[in-house]
Structure 1
């Protein structure tokens, strides 16, 4: 049985309400769990009104070399998620230490993600992850939704441009 419920929501919070309500209906136990979209796993903060502000806060925390990895990935993504081999990224940014160097740079980005206060989600395996990028053990990936936010921050002047 379905019971209709009317809820009054402040206009500025309507989008966030629908995201959370969708997660609730999908029986996602954690309200901060990632939203599953056809393009891949997208953290819920990415589809809120504050997304660009959050991305700007993150971008300022990331070192120049870390930004180069995310910039490379974000520029290569358009309509759907894309996978990158570590050596491909290393070649693309000209990192002399190859895939080990890329892993080290992304480890630093992970620390920046924590400093910026981005939410961490529970993965299907029960681990914690931020979903700015994903790692399947062989390849890195990024969704177009995250890539779009990062591309805007990578421009001279960032989101203010």
Structure 2
């Protein structure tokens, strides 16, 4: 059951609220997760034979706004890990709710990650994270390995529904 909750947030903290709320919504502990996968590390499932089908399943679960934000991260991470500020992603996507809305969209992508059954890992801080992208408190980042896999899944013929 989902219960709608309304909270009042000071205007100067709205962006931080959305970021933390996105992290909260995406945080689902997995007792079987490997421990301490550092930031910037490629999640182990990306290197498996099942990775293309897992990425395709994930891509099918992601909303259109989520795909739009991820496409910019994927494009930026062609050759090296990309680091993008929320405002940069909002500007690139021309998202009308700006930087705070990017965190909300990525919170929805976090739900899609769970629906697709992708593994989560324990971070050095002791929280669970999927490492499709990372958040250092200031910027989002994506590794080229994850970007390459999602790029292929996003192409016609790369999605599970196209098979």
Q: Unaligned 5+ residue runs, structure 1?
A: 1-29
Map of 1:145-160 to 2, 5 A cutoff?
A: 145-158=145-158
**Matched residues in 1 for 2:46 and 2:91: separation?**
29
Equivalent residue, structure 2, for 1:131: 131
**What TM-score, normalized by structure 1, do the two folds share?**
0.74
Q: Which runs of 4+ in 1 moved over 3 A?
A: 30-36
Aligned length: 130
Distance 1:49 1:117, change over 3 A: same
Matched, 1:97 2:97: yes
Alignment of 1:27-106 (within 5 A): 32-33=34-35, 40-106=40-106
- 1:137 and 1:31 mapped to 2: Cα distance? 23
Name the larger-Rg structure: 1
Scaled by the length of structure 2, the TM-score of the pair is 0.73
- In the aligned structure 1, how far is the partner of 2:122 from the partner of 2:33? 11
RMSD, aligned α-carbons: 2.1
What does the per-residue CA deviation read over 1:31-58, in whole Å, with 9 as the maximum and x for residues that have no partner? 734766xx93111000111111110010
The verdict on how the C-alpha distance between 1:104 and 1:72 changes in structure 2, with shifts beyond 3 A counting, is same
Between 1 and 2, higher relative CO (CA 8 Å, sep ≥ 6) is seen in 2
CA drift at 1:76:
1.4
Q: Output the CA distance in 2 between the equivalents of 1:140 and 1:148.
A: 17
Where does structure 2 lack aligned partners over 5 or more consecutive residues? 1-31
